A and B are shown apart, each in its own frame.
Chain A
Amino acid sequence: MSLLVLDSVTRRFGALQALKGISLSVEEGELRAIIGPNGAGKTTLFNLISGYFPPSQGSISFAGSVITAVSPNALVRRGIIRTFQITQIFLALTVYENLRVAVECAMGLQLRPYIGRATRARVEARVDELIEVTRIGAKVDRIAGELSHGDQRVVEIGIALSRAPRLLLLDEPTAGMGDEETRHMTDLIRRLNRTNGITMLFVEHDMAIVFGIADRITVLDNGALLAEGSAAEIAANPRVQAAYLGDAAGARAA
């Protein structure tokens, strides 16, 4: 069964049609890339899926139930977690404190002025798991605001993982990163998908990454769905080549 289904979703901002009748479905366990030129509607799509605002028309369903009018908070509890183009972490706290508060909130403890030893141990064990899966162990005691951009993004993903996402939305996860950081992030994304089985949707401009790791690719252009398919299909699609990729990327993927 498809985990996420969008059925003829349209979103208007005044006179502007940011998304025009988009239909797509994402399977459980899939790693899906969303690409398209600036203004294609990628971030709008994320905002709709994560409940930031509702679609003007059409419906969105997740795990079999319609979520078109569900609040972002409720969606988070159902397992739709996102990251942002601008990294959202707790800059003044250490990496460990970032992950700990995320885990405590995920466990619903955020109003508890006291937790017993057993609960504390559960929190710590979960934080250790997140540290391990994100491989940020060497930097847990560093202040997050002093880390490199790449490491901050990793912390952000660690925070997102605290909620045990069923669907993880990553908005330009490697934007502004150097080669080394990009490779680390790409590895992390692939690992989370392949090893931990997390379904992911990511917006990305780096075609090498998109064609390197995505199971399927959705191409948006000017608010409309231009194409969808495997890396080879997308690379071979003449409309995509004409509208967006150019010859170089087509050649590389082929």
Chain B
Amino acid sequence: MSTMIRGVAASPPRRSAIGRREIASGLIWLLLLLVPLWLPAIGGYTDLATRILIYGMAATGLNLLLGQTGGLSFGHAAYFGLGTYGTGLFLIHVVPSLPLAIIAGTLLGGIAAVLVGPMVMKRRGIYFSMITIAFGQMFYFVAVRWNGLTGGEDGLTGFSRVPLHIGSRSVALGSTGYYYLVFGLFALVMLVVWQILRSPLGHGFVAARENATRLRFLGVAVERQIWASFAISGFIVGLAGSLDSLLVNFTSPANFQWQLSGEFVVMCVLGGMRSFWGPFLGAVIFIGAQDYLSSVTQNWMSLIGLIFVLSVLFFPNGLLGFIRGRARA
């Protein structure tokens, strides 16, 4: 993992150095592609890398709204949670098909975001955040109370990663196989986000963040821009949730809770909200630290809190922002 960070460090922001930046990106992709080869050698395990990809995907999805559009959502766990339950319930009650279950979870999370969007898009700042939390908690209580369907506080079990059917062949997905499935979807999400950021839609997100008044006086319905951002991030976070439920064959109301929403935000801030790779890098640090620290101490959360406070104090633009600032100076 440290190699990965150094790879990113080599990417300065200036146009003249675009070559180095692409090399850094290429290096990240290569490292991710070869994870099952090198991760065990440094004491990791493949499921950890899968988890990092999943949370990195969720953080990148949230960051479309948070870092690019400037909407601080403390409720995105709702769409993650819906992704997990959508996939689990689909496998249990509808068809034991992996691709359809993933699509079902993604749609459930995404469509919920599409519906919630209009109710939050008119608010700014703290009010926006409060409403997103409120909706997140609403889904949480539904998951807790609707015992018959969701398993209540105990969570949802009884589903598992069924084999993937390719043509007439049936492929069971072990740790490595599932890693590559997640990797493929992660790559797809990164491609989509990259494309959005270089499109008029993404330019509009950033413009809404920078100066909504200006944008409005260009005749743009800023709310629709925020809604679009909210919805797209909801689909991506929903997909991440779906993949998470298939990683552990389990989900619980904790996946709806605002703590998880907060963790997504922390990942974005840690890595750098203004950078393409920032949220993913934040997930690497967060999940990596969580995995390591929780094996050392029960109080790992306070250590993560400490890391967060220090990083906000010393790297207010996230780790990638800091590295870029150094490269520019």
Contact = CB atoms under 8 A, between A and B. Distances in A.
B218 interface: yes
Interface in B196-247: 196, 199-204, 206-207, 210-211, 213-221, 224-225, 228
Nearest to B201: A113
A22 interface: no
A104 B219 CA distance: 11
B218 A105 contact: yes
A110 to B, nearest CB: 4
Contacts of A163: 218-219
Contacts of A76: 217-219
Interface residues of A, number: 32
Given A90-B210, A91-B211, A101-B206, A106 B218 contact: yes
Interface string B60-84: 0000000000000000000000000
B176 interface: no
A91 B210 contact: yes
Given A91-B211, A92-B210, A110 B217 contact: no
B175 to A, nearest CB: 34
Contact of B203 (A72, A92, A101, A162): A101
B204 A72 contact: no
Interface residues of B, number: 25
B272 to A, nearest CB: 14
Contact of A88 (B15, B211, B219): B211
Interface string A233-249: 00000000000000000
A216 interface: no
A89 B218 CA distance: 11
A102 interface: yes
Which of B195, B218, B224 is most buried by chain A, counting CB atoms within 10 A of its CB?
B218
Given A73-B219, A76-B219, A90-B214, A104 B204 contact: yes
Contacts of A132: none
Given A111-B201, A111-B204, A113-B196, A105 B210 contact: no
Nearest to A78: B219
Contact of B218 (A50, A92, A159): A159
Given A90-B207, A93-B206, A104-B204, A113 B199 contact: yes
Interface of A: 50, 72-73, 76-77, 81-82, 88-93, 97, 100-102, 104-106, 109-115, 123, 141, 159, 162-163
